Amino acid sequence: MATQFAALIMDTLLEQTGLEDIILSIISFVIIFAIMTVIFYVSGNAVVGRKRVSLKDAFSISVLGTLVLIVCLSVFSLELALLMSVIAWLLLVKYYYETGFVGAFAVGITSAFVSLVVLEVLSWVLGIPLVFDWLSVFVMG
């Protein structure tokens, strides 16, 4: 009885305030940042080495890079926003991993490859073609 009452209260709260959308957005952002952090950590370890790569740095790169991407997408066209975001990501990797532009570029390429592998595995597990849906944004644009 108490669980039914709690579920009724939660359903009422979620319908009136849109709290469910906010919670789902927060959860999806946390999942995205967690996955991106792991991708940057693995890529950084593979390219730069463990001495200059930390999980904290990888998290900082993923958060700051995503914020730059969001700002650029809201201000500029898609092509310009993507170009500016890639430059920002490379500068962040260069700064946090204490490497040159070649090392940052190598981390970026490795991160893109690892991302595609992660997306492919997720699409296989979920049964949804995530990679091709994601790539269609660039082809159709």
Q: What local confidence, expressed as pLDDT, does residue 95 receive?
A: 94
Q: What local confidence, expressed as pLDDT, does residue 12 receive?
A: 52
Q: What local confidence, expressed as pLDDT, does residue 17 receive?
A: 56
Sites in the chain below the pLDDT cut of 70: 1-18, 128-141
CA angle 31, 83, 101 (to 5 degrees): 85
Q: What local confidence, expressed as pLDDT, does residue 11 receive?
A: 55
Residue type for position 108:
G
Domain boundaries, the chain: 2-140
* Each residue's pLDDT tens digit, 53-72: 889 999 999 889 888 888 88
Q: What local confidence, expressed as pLDDT, does residue 10 receive?
A: 52
Task: Decide if 84 contacts 72 (C-beta within 8 A).
Answer: yes
